Amino acid sequence: MSDLDMEDVALALVAPSKGILAADESTGTIKKRLDSIGTASTEDSRRDYRELLFTATGASDYISGVILYDETLRQSSGTGTPFPELLKANGIIPGIKVDMGAKPLAFSNGELVTEGLDGLRERLSEYYSLGARFAKWRAVIAIKDGAPSQYCIDTNAHALARYAALCQEANIVPIVEPEVLMDGDHNIDECYAVTETTLKSVFDELYKQRVVLEQMLLKPNMVISGADCQEQAGAEEISDKTLYCFSQAVPSAVPGIVFLSGGQSEQQATENLNVMNQQGKQPWEISYSYGRALQSSALAAWQGKPENVAAAQAAFLHRAKLTSAARDGEYNA
Ligand code: 13P
């Protein structure tokens, strides 16, 4: 693949039938995933697991880009090919998570702000030289006990915009991820209100900080009921409220919206994406940047055993194919 400019990269990431695999779990998060299958988290086991995903033959029919973690960007396959090179050779664009995680926000009631701006310009320059052409920064907004505060939303939005501007300066497409968590017993309308307020603050900051909207992607949550809410909204309501929310808050210059799965089951995340893509043409491409909803079955099939690699790859390809169909509104449950 020859080098593309940022608008081309953003469009390639949301090409028809394709979306992003989020395989950028931090060392702490991947440990939790590996613990769930009774596998020790070591540099080698993390490498073996990521290699399994990246070498699944045919994945590039469904996967346009992969978000890597710092350690993974520097790792190589068993045969010695650096992962970014291996992905690129398969027509998949390598990306990199660049935030340093959500930390307690001073003077708030237990809210979080994402850190990682110090030294980011230098890190982006190195990531570019290692092959990364897009990046991700995740802000976390929780709904609970009177939260989120406007203070928390605005502080995270400001950091997201600073990150996005630095990315574009480095010729790297920023994925801007303000995640309103689905944890809690709030209903879908509370999620709607917080998501709309958050997106408005994020785009206000992106505008103030001169971020070029054509050269970025938005990675939001869907507007959805809290995981512990008694009344769970169905796919039609989720689709209607999510698309309406974006119509109010996301400029049409943004080329694509790539959802996170956020703890939805693989089936839910696929079904909801499918219904949204059946609503006709939107101002933005509607696609995916799933972690758990693309990986859960593969992880369970693998169990950390070399003899299960083929079964794990088959499970991953199956989910990727269904998610790709949903991205085109052609998924049949
Ligand atoms: P999930 O799809 O598992 O939410 O992960 C996507 C992601 O990258 C969250 O930052």
Strand partners, 66: 21, 94
Q: Quick check: 78 pLDDT over 80?
A: yes
| ipTM score above 0.90 | yes
Strand partners, 174: 135
- Predicted model pTM: 0.98
For 217-250, the pLDDT digits (tens) are: 999 999 999 999 999 999 999 999 999 999 999 9
CB atoms near residue 332 (< 10 Å):
7
Instruction: Indicate whether residue 291 lines ligand 1 (CB < 6 A).
Output: yes
Mutation probe of ligand 1 site: the residue of 100, 112, 292 with most atoms within 8 A of C-beta: 292
Cβ–Cβ under 8 Å, residues 323 and 273:
yes
Mean pLDDT of 280-309: 98
Residue of 177, 196, 266, 285 marked active site:
177
Gap between the Cα atoms of 160 and 155, Å rounded: 9
Query: Is 190 an active-site residue?
Result: no
User: Which pLDDT band holds residue 261 (cuts at 50, 70, 90)?
Assistant: very high
Query: What is residue 1's predicted lDDT score, i.e. its pLDDT?
Result: 46
Query: What is residue 3's predicted lDDT score, i.e. its pLDDT?
Result: 67
For 108-130, the pLDDT digits (tens) are: 999 999 999 999 999 999 999 99
Q: Quick check: 321 pLDDT over 80?
A: yes
Query: Is 208 an active-site residue?
Result: no
Which residue type does 25 have? E
CA of 220 to the centre of ligand 1 (A): 10
User: Which pLDDT band holds residue 145 (cuts at 50, 70, 90)?
Assistant: confident
Quick one: what percent of the chain has pLDDT higher than 90?
A: 98
Atom index in ligand 1 nearest the CA of residue 269 equals 2
CA of 231 to the centre of ligand 1 (A): 24
Mean pLDDT of 173-197: 98
Gap between the Cα atoms of 278 and 238, Å rounded: 13
Instruction: Indicate whether residue 292 lines ligand 1 (CB < 6 A).
Output: yes
Mean pLDDT of 298-304: 98
Beta strands 134-141 and 173-180: pairing type?
A: parallel
Phi, psi dihedrals of residue 263, rounded to the nearest 5°:
105, 0
Q: Quick check: 2 pLDDT over 60?
A: no
221, 60, 87, 71: CA torsion to nearest 10? 30
Query: What is residue 4's predicted lDDT score, i.e. its pLDDT?
Result: 78
Atom index in ligand 1 nearest the CA of residue 67 equals 8
Instruction: Indicate whether residue 299 lines ligand 1 (CB < 6 A).
Output: no
Mutation probe of ligand 1 site: the residue of 261, 296, 297 with most atoms within 8 A of C-beta: 261
Mean pLDDT of 65-89: 98
Atom index in ligand 1 nearest the CA of residue 294 equals 2
Q: Please state whether the peptide bond connecting residue 255 to the residue before it is cis, i.e. omega within 30 degrees of 0.
A: no
Ligand 1: residue whose CA is nearest its atom 9 = 260
Mean pLDDT of 68-76: 98
Mean pLDDT of 38-54: 98
Atom index in ligand 1 nearest the CA of residue 24 equals 8
Query: What is residue 229's predicted lDDT score, i.e. its pLDDT?
Result: 98
273, 34, 67, 266: CA torsion to nearest 10? -10
Mean pLDDT of 165-187: 98
Mean pLDDT of 160-188: 98
